[in-house]
Structure 1
């Protein structure tokens, strides 16, 4: 790769203006504000993002972002990086910049003995195959058509959470009995659902037996309800059918025609989602790739072991 006077390095909060300039040039349809930039890159509970960049003077012309999260694997905490927000200025494309930054990022992951995961689309997934990542699965996209839905009148106590998640939420995660997934403790949940300029519907299930986070989306013609988080203590899994019925009632009551969720086959909740009609309908446009230290690879590379939801994606 020929840099021809350009330099590589790590960006920080001091590069706010240069980062926003590149991001909003490349994706003007989803512009970022300063608040979004700090939420996404610098105010995470696991620490600031690793932002691998190539610079042309004061300008950033290529960005490869790796967001820190804490992955829980069979009760063990493992630092991880979620690769996202990968882009190059249009005037500098075709020079191998992202391939170079991807190699630097993966070397850093390997040297630090941490894990990585990412959700590339069908245009970028080949670069992860070539780069030594392992394909976990296609994104396990589930959906249910609500046309003809009849209100079920759920009697379960599912109450809105108006404030922050407390330590009760951490305890729900601790007793959920889930094998692999980003740790859903109170810190993570409060950061994740503090995303600027987004509205989330947060709920407690039977006081402290579970938690639920929903998001409505409408394109002006049709509406969709996304189930972003649904975690139950292992002894509360029998509540799942009623929780799903609540979600369907909520969606229909807000004019949504479709409910979506992510959850892999083999997950403890999967049979109940299937029975409720919330079934996997692969989109074949987005994939899940992972990379893990040898000691954790067997479990991290097992799609059925993962608690993978739409809340893991920054899109929602």
Structure 2
């Protein structure tokens, strides 16, 4: 078996890449992420001048592997740098066990080492972790999935326990009533379907980023790109103080997880010193959820961030599921102490390509 590794040319092989994607991720059947439009948005419409990096592998004329990274811009310490956010890593199911994943990983990250100081990703499937560790990736910490249940109808129905939901919902309502933090009554909230409707978002995002050691640059150009995925609709909750300054922000969308209609919180930022707005954020989310028939609110973040953002005090529970932050330090421009310390980060789905 001769494996040919090369940079991916979508003008020649996009149809093969889309077929490989559907073959590797059958659970996405019928989902817009299988479309050519989604691919073009994801890899060929990023707002900055740096282009995405894509690699492919072939056996004869058959594409058997694909590896990509999007150039997310981060502030690490005091330095602004592009980082390879690795995604859509694929090996043909017909050719697994032949070392293609390992060879693709070595080849791709070697090529990326001349472009970015490190790469990062967020796998949830445990079976892919050993392959990454084998080629030099490390796991600094995990990012659990946190869930706040508002109703239990769909969850209990899926367990054939739907008859218990009326009583269960009463107990859940009592629990949520006592699991909410107080908030400043002078704060105001607004929910929009267009991030450009939030006055001062850019200033807020920069001030928030400056408050952390390591942070994704979530300026308006990035946000407009991130929330423009084809056939997806996003909502934006902003919290302002009495003078009208944005001090809190949440981006979210309706999702269906295990048959449960839910809100997925993609991003959640609060400026230091305004922790008293978390109660209002959770109140507004719950109110909107009730109107839309949403039964759960879920998000991904580190244990440190979950504590800082008062998730438990506002009714969230840590689920058994967790994503892993994986990092491959390609150049040692940044130390492991800088990159691997959970206290330096506030990572969420916005830092990935998920949702």
Pairwise TM-score range, normalised by the shorter structure: 0.7 to 0.9
Tell me whether 31-40 or 48-57 shows the greater mean CA deviation.
48-57
Q: Pick the structure with more helix per residue.
A: 2
Match of 2:40 among 29, 38, 41: 38
- Aligned partners of 2:77, 2:6: CA distance in 1, in Å? 35
Matched, 1:313 2:352: yes
Distance apart, 1:93 and its partner CA? 2.8
For 1:231, the equivalent position in structure 2 comes to 269
- Aligned partners of 1:221, 1:35: CA distance in 2, in Å? 26
Matched, 1:288 2:302: no
Matched, 1:49 2:86: no
For 1:73, the equivalent position in structure 2 comes to 76
Match of 1:173 among 199, 205, 215: 205
- Aligned partners of 1:294, 1:220: CA distance in 2, in Å? 41
- Aligned partners of 1:221, 1:97: CA distance in 2, in Å? 35
- Aligned partners of 2:258, 2:341: CA distance in 1, in Å? 39
Distance apart, 1:53 and its partner CA? 0.5
- Aligned partners of 1:114, 1:282: CA distance in 2, in Å? 33
Match of 2:132 among 128, 132, 151: 128
Report if aligned partners of 1:139, 1:282 keep a CA contact under 8 Å in 2: no
Calculate the TM-score normalised by the size of structure 1: 0.87
- Aligned partners of 1:174, 1:210: CA distance in 2, in Å? 13
- Aligned partners of 2:226, 2:120: CA distance in 1, in Å? 17
Going from structure 1 to structure 2, the CA distance change for 1:169 and 1:41 (only over 3 Å counts) comes to same
Q: How does 1:179-218 map to 2 (within 5 A)?
A: 179-206=213-240, 208-218=246-256
Matched, 1:10 2:26: no
CA RMSD of aligned residues (A): 2.7
For 1:299, the equivalent position in structure 2 comes to 338
Q: Secondary structure at the match of 2:236?
A: strand
Report if aligned partners of 2:237, 2:250 keep a CA contact under 8 Å in 1: yes
Count of matched residue positions in the alignment of Structure 1 and Structure 2: 312
Tell me whether 235-244 or 304-313 shows the greater mean CA deviation.
235-244
Report if aligned partners of 2:262, 2:295 keep a CA contact under 8 Å in 1: yes
Going from structure 1 to structure 2, the CA distance change for 1:162 and 1:141 (only over 3 Å counts) comes to closer
Q: Secondary structure at the match of 1:209?
A: strand
Q: Deviations over 1:110-168 (max 9, x none)?
A: 34452211112201011122221120222222112223155999964222334343783
For 1:109, the equivalent position in structure 2 comes to 112
Going from structure 1 to structure 2, the CA distance change for 1:265 and 1:18 (only over 3 Å counts) comes to same
- Aligned partners of 1:287, 1:133: CA distance in 2, in Å? 11
Q: Which structure has the larger Rg over C-alpha atoms?
A: 2
Q: Deviations over 1:233-264 (max 9, x none)?
A: 33444322211222222223322222111222
